[in-house]
């Protein structure tokens, strides 16, 4: 088990910590990196170190740069693999360390890793939604990350199926169902914004993921 790190604070919404470069440096300490190498190997360690550098650089960058760099990093670093093939489970949500460690994941894992990364760079939770959608081209459920600069702007879609970040208006192939983040659950409207469902969170998989991250997995 890896040491508890930045993800505990990320998903607990401790906003004061996310934009702090010294905090990021402190949590990616040698013991954590040694744990990555021991469990996943040297190639995995290199990916985690590159990720750490990405998060550090993102502390002073614009949201536009952050969104595009994070999307490219995970789309280039991670190979798609279904949960059955990867984890021998029908539905498993991996932590970013697990995703980078194994260099594989499904759509949920891409979306989660991108969400955690942007939060670590200092993007407010209010601008992000992990969005459950239906991919109409294949008529299958899918998950993406949505970035919303403001309520009057078209949201941007970060998707593992398409390399580049695109506005939601250019993704008619995606039918939004609901979105969630650490603050709660939203019923989706066509452009990715929506009505918050009071008292609801992202479901049991999301809660399980938070618990495993907090334990340092």
Mean pLDDT of 122-132: 91
Q: What percent of the chain has pLDDT over 90?
A: 54
pLDDT band per the 50, 70, 90 thresholds, residue 121: very high
Name the nearest CA neighbour of 133 among 99, 163, 171, 105: 171
Q: What is the pLDDT of residues 7-57, one digit of tens each?
A: 333 344 333 344 445 556 656 888 888 999 999 999 999 999 999 999 999
In this model, does residue 168 exceed pLDDT 70?
Answer: yes
What's the per-residue H, E or C state across the chain?
CCCCCHHHHHHCCCHHHHCCHHHHHHHCCHHHHHHHHHHHCHHHHHHHHHHHHHHHHHHHCCHHHHHHHHHHHHHHHCEECCHHHHHCCCCCCCCHHHHHHHCEECHHHHHHHHHHHHHHHCCCHHHEEEEEEEECCCCEEEEEEEECCCCCCCCEEECCCCCCCEEHHHCCCEEEEEEEECCEEEEECCCCCEEEECCCCCCHHHHHHHHHHHCCC
- Rounded to two decimals, the pTM is 0.79
- Which residues, at least 6 apart from 105, have a Cβ–Cβ distance to it below 8 Å? 78, 80, 81, 86, 94, 99, 113
Q: Is the pLDDT of residue 6 over 90?
A: no
Domain 6-214 listed as CATH 3.30.1480.10: no
CA 217 to chain centre: 16
CA-closest candidate to residue 3, choices 172, 198, 216: 216
Residue 152 has pLDDT above 70, yes or no: yes
Provide CB contacts within 8 A for 121, sequence distance 6+: 18, 19, 55, 58, 59, 61, 66, 70
Mind listing the pLDDT tens digit for each residue in 170-212? 999 999 888 887 766 544 443 344 444 444 444 556 556 545 5
Mean pLDDT, the chain, rounded, equals 80
Overall average pLDDT of the 47-69 stretch: 96
């Amino acid at each position: 088990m890896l040491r508890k790190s930045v993800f505990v604070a990320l998903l607990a919404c401790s906003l004061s910590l996310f934009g702090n470069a010294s905090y990021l440096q402190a949590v990616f300490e040698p013991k954590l990196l040694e744990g990555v190498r021991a469990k996943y190997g040297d190639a995995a360690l290199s990916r985690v170190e590159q990720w750490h550098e990405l998060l550090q650089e993102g502390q002073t960058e614009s949201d536009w740069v952050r969104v595009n760099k994070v999307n490219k990093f995970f789309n280039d670093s991670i190979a798609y693999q279904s949960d059955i093939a990867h984890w021998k489970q029908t539905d498993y949500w991996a932590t970013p360390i697990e995703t980078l460690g194994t260099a594989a994941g499904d759509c949920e894992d891409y979306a989660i890793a991108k969400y955690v990364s942007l939060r670590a760079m200092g993007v407010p939770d209010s601008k992000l939604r992990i969005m459950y959608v239906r991919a109409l081209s294949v008529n299958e459920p899918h998950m993406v990350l949505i970035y919303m600069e403001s309520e009057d702007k078209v949201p941007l879609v970060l998707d593992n199926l398409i390399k580049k970040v695109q506005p939601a208006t250019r993704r008619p192939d995606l039918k939004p169902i609901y979105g969630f983040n650490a603050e709660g659950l939203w019923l989706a409207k066509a452009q990715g914004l929506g009505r918050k469902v009071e008292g609801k969170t992202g479901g049991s998989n999301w809660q399980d993921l938070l618990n495993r991250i907090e334990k340092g997995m």
